[in-house]
Amino acid sequence: SFDKTSHGTESFIMNSTADHSDANKKQPILKVAVPIPLFGSFDYLIPESLRHQRFTPGCRVEVPFGRRTAIGVILGQTGHSDLAVNKLKAINALIDTEAVLDSRILDLLGWASSYYLHPIGEVVQTALPSLLRQGKAAEASAIKAWKTTDGTSADDLETLNRAAKQKHILQILLNHPEGLGEAYLNDNHPNWRNAMKALLEKGLAVCTERASLPEAHPVSTQAPSLNEEQQQAIAAIGRDLNQHHIHLLHGVTGSGKTEVYLALSERVIASGKQVLVLVPEISLTPQLTERFEQRMGCPIAVLHSGLNDQQRLSAWVAASSGHARLIIGTRSAIFTPLPDLGLILVDEEHDGSYKQQEGFRYNARDLALVRSQKENIPVVLGSATPSLESLHNVNRQRFQIHTLKKRARTQSITKIKLLDMCSQPIKEGLSAALLDKVDEHLKLGNQVILFLNRRGFSPLLMCHSCGWMTRCKRCDANMTYHKHKQQLHCHHCGAESRSPTSCGDCGSEELLAIGTGTERIEEFLSERFPDTHINRIDRNTARRKDALEDKLQQTHAGCASILVGTQMLAKGHDFPNVTLVGVLDTDQALYSADFRAAEHLAQLIIQVSGRAGRAEKPGEVLIQTHHPDHPLLQTLLHQGYEKFAESALIERQQAGFPPHKHLVLLRCGAIHKDLGMLFMREARELANSYQASEVEIFGPWPAPMEKRAGRFRTQTMLQSNDRKALHQLLRQWLPRLQQLKSSKQVRWSIDVDPYDTF
Ligand code: ADP
Ligand code: ZN
Ligand code: ZN
């Protein structure tokens, strides 16, 4: 089956004009995107009773589907159907009178559906807030406000001399002609309701409702005077804001990229247009949102996963109605309808979270390029460590690069040094040399970040008598030991269990925690530095958004002296008092099977380095490794990120990996290994049969982690220089794959431009 549920063979109904029989004439037929994992749109009739309505593309309809009803989106109208008219069902209802998705978004969604080979119904869903998927009205929630009626004045207070409470409330309303909300009244004037009710009855006050749309923030901070590099970038990008251009803003952390975003946004908004800012993860970049709010003086809508459904709908309505002029959002915000879109900014464009890794596997960064082309507007990709794809496009002169080399506020340069771990005494993953350094920086009253991309206490428990290990039953992986919770977690399938007190094989009670995770380091450090405040930041400690914010506040306030954390720490935050960053484990990434591992490691090292020494204190970065001579590390440290990227691009070329060649991965997971292999072999044979000489086909082979969540995983890889040829093959291949009997017994998916090959 494709991803989730099983496919029928009749399912591949692509928009077709095949049937010309008389019976099909004149009946208007709606093409509807229905949210199910089947390809193509579905044809529906319009019942007599609704014929007078207008069926604009982008309006939602309720339709019968199988034995249930579904909410779909009209894609278009036609006079023909592949199916006989008497086989077609009629829609139940038209939900919208005006399109919720405008034609430009429908166009983008259609493009994405065919590029990523994902069913249009599910693609269209991605663009809708969940309340709209459920068929709710496309309106922002209303908030109530109370104010005085026209003509009410201070004179009326005299009439209330015998009702002190009413008089008091009326006085307050007179002081606030703009009206007061429930929240304010509750907080400041408990028991206001009865008095208000009386005022309403006397006609002195009214209750109004207005949509809870974001309001313009008063501008509260001024722009610094921009330096030469910033001015040049702004001038170059600003030279032509009325056409499609792709810009790459490459600036070291702290070089003032955000100031460039702000200046460009101001211009675009002043010219009457909207700006869309994409960020990888909002909870990790609250500072960015705040800066836009403090500086832009226009209504800003923020779209992120921390909102409840109602808030999300309100923000979406604010954006798509044109009320909000600047929209900040994560991945899926790329699909927000924006009537006046004039500029797209993609911050931290190299970040992997722009790629959705399941279901509809799109890349929001890449779709930003497509959207900007379709809408004929500029797009700016920003990063301190641009992706190899983007640098490749600069080399091919598809992107225009603008470089900010200097930090805006400090001249200090962070020194990056390698710490050779070979034959060094090591305690819990920390070399003696690094510990001495930590000591040194703490004594100066500074903060230290230790970075390790592994959560938990230790990656496994092992029996000291017989070697038994805490394996996950459903994955080819060990279960991570979380000591504080006394639990084992599988970080691959999410399985959890209580941690054992004895060996599962021989019963021995001597279990060893092997290896080091952030929790263990935290424990070790609190023994080693008992008077120092230690803060751990990872998905376990910062699950709730406010927990993360609390921790960051503490850190900014300077109370925490050592921060231990995973890659969450490398993103977006400034830690002005941090003067030492230690990267604990690099060796794994140096020898990983993932073709992007080297790129990620280099980005991580540069990004964490950027967190240190941002204020007046110079920073120092120490990288622990057993391979200090590794060419990747040598190039990165001695020649910088650009040179590293150059040599990494050459390696990619030699290996035939993106961006030089395009990849498509057919993935399959099966309860029984043989079923997976059978499907994959048949799939491969089909692919071979098209004799597309420009496309190389590799596999099937087992995935690097063969078993995950109880399924055996195999993959087949398609590789080509020629994107057209690749897509041509895919378009023939996919419908045939669905028809394979063997496809019904496995879960499979197609990943166009996969982020990794796991
Ligand atoms: P980036 O986005 O590249 O990390 P920011 O725009 O956040 O950099 O700038 C880093 C810090 O320097 C911020 O505190 C910002 O206010 C400040 N800054 C940026 N540009 C200037 C400038 N031209 N003059 C003074 N301070 C600046
Ligand atoms: Zn597992
Ligand atoms: Zn044992």
Q: What is the pLDDT of residues 725-735, one digit of tens each?
A: 999 999 999 99
Select from 225, 255, 259 the residue to mutate for testing ligand 1; criterion: most ligand atoms less than 8 Å from CB: 259
pLDDT tier, 575 (very low <50, low <70, confident <90, very high otherwise): confident
pLDDT value of position 733:
95
Among 96-105, 324-333, 477-486, 581-590, the least confident range: 581-590
Distance (angstroms) between ligand 2 centre and the Cα of 473 equals 7
Helix/strand/coil percent split, the chain, to 5: 35, 25, 40
pLDDT value of position 570:
73
Q: Is the CB of 532 under 6 A from ligand 1?
A: no
Contact 202/170 with Cβ under 8 angstroms? no
Ligand 1, atom 24: closest residue by C-alpha: 224
Note the pLDDT tens digit of each residue in 490-507: 999 999 999 999 999 999
pLDDT value of position 26:
67
CA–CA distance, 599 with 590 (Å, rounded to integer): 10
Pick the more confident residue, 234 or 592. Answer: 234
Distance (angstroms) between ligand 3 centre and the Cα of 42 equals 59
Burial of 327 (0-12, 13-18, 19+ CB in 10 A): buried
CA–CA distance, 563 with 480 (Å, rounded to integer): 21
Q: Is the CB of 378 under 6 A from ligand 1?
A: no
pLDDT tier, 558 (very low <50, low <70, confident <90, very high otherwise): low
pLDDT tier, 284 (very low <50, low <70, confident <90, very high otherwise): low
Q: Is the CB of 408 under 6 A from ligand 1?
A: yes
Omega prior to 659 cis, within 30 of 0: yes
pLDDT value of position 18:
42
CA–CA distance, 618 with 577 (Å, rounded to integer): 10
Q: What is the mean pLDDT of residues 37-53?
A: 92
Assigned token pair, 401? 């690069």
Q: Is the CB of 615 under 6 A from ligand 1?
A: no
Q: Which residues lie below 8 Å from residue 39, measured CB to CB, with a gap of 6+? A: 11, 12, 13, 14, 119, 120, 734, 735, 738
Distance (angstroms) between ligand 3 centre and the Cα of 500 equals 12
CA–CA distance, 66 with 629 (Å, rounded to integer): 63
pLDDT value of position 619:
84
Burial of 189 (0-12, 13-18, 19+ CB in 10 A): middle
Taken in order 567, 568, 569, 571, is the CA torsion positive or negative? Answer: positive
CB atoms within 10 A of CB 221: 10
Q: Is the CB of 258 under 6 A from ligand 1?
A: yes
Measured from the Cα of 253, ligand 1's closest atom is 4
Assigned token pair, 251? 């600036």
pLDDT value of position 307:
85
pTM: 0.88
The angle at the Cα of 677, spanning 674 to 683, to the nearest 5 degrees, equals 145
pLDDT value of position 543:
65
pLDDT value of position 19:
44
Q: Which residue has the tokens 């290896």?
A: 515
DSSP tally for the chain: helices H, then strands E: 20, 33
pLDDT tier, 8 (very low <50, low <70, confident <90, very high otherwise): very low
pLDDT value of position 613:
66
CA distances from 29 to 47, 86, 105, 110 (A): 10, 12, 22, 19
pLDDT at 528 over 50: yes
Note the pLDDT tens digit of each residue in 372-427: 999 999 999 999 999 999 999 999 999 999 999 888 776 666 788 999 999 999 99
Measured from the Cα of 255, ligand 1's closest atom is 3
Q: What is the percent of the chain where pLDDT is above 90?
A: 70
pLDDT value of position 20:
44
Q: Is the CB of 667 under 6 A from ligand 1?
A: no
pLDDT at 685 over 90: yes
Strands (E), 215-340: 245-251, 274-278, 300-303, 326-329
Q: Which residue has the tokens 């938990």?
A: 456
Distance (angstroms) between ligand 2 centre and the Cα of 708 equals 6
What are the residues whose beta carbon lies below 5 Å from ligand 2 (ion)? Answer: 472, 474-475, 490, 492-493, 495
pLDDT value of position 682:
97
Measured from the Cα of 384, ligand 1's closest atom is 3
Assigned token pair, 345? 């900014």
Contact 381/391 with Cβ under 8 angstroms? no
Q: Is the CB of 226 under 6 A from ligand 1?
A: yes
pLDDT at 7 over 70: no
pLDDT value of position 546:
66
Select from 258, 287, 351, 411 the residue to mutate for testing ligand 1; criterion: most ligand atoms less than 8 Å from CB: 258
Note the pLDDT tens digit of each residue in 85-116: 888 999 999 999 999 999 999 999 999 999 99
Which ligand gives the minimal distance to the CA of 469?
3
Note the pLDDT tens digit of each residue in 287-304: 788 899 999 999 999 998
Q: Is the CB of 387 under 6 A from ligand 1?
A: no
Pick the more confident residue, 434 or 541. Answer: 434
Which ligand gives the minimal distance to the CA of 475?
2
Distance (angstroms) between ligand 3 centre and the Cα of 502 equals 8
> Shortest CA distance to 445 belongs to which of 317, 559, 330, 300?
559
**Side chain identity, residue 653:** Q
Pick the more confident residue, 229 or 216. Answer: 229
pLDDT at 14 over 60: no
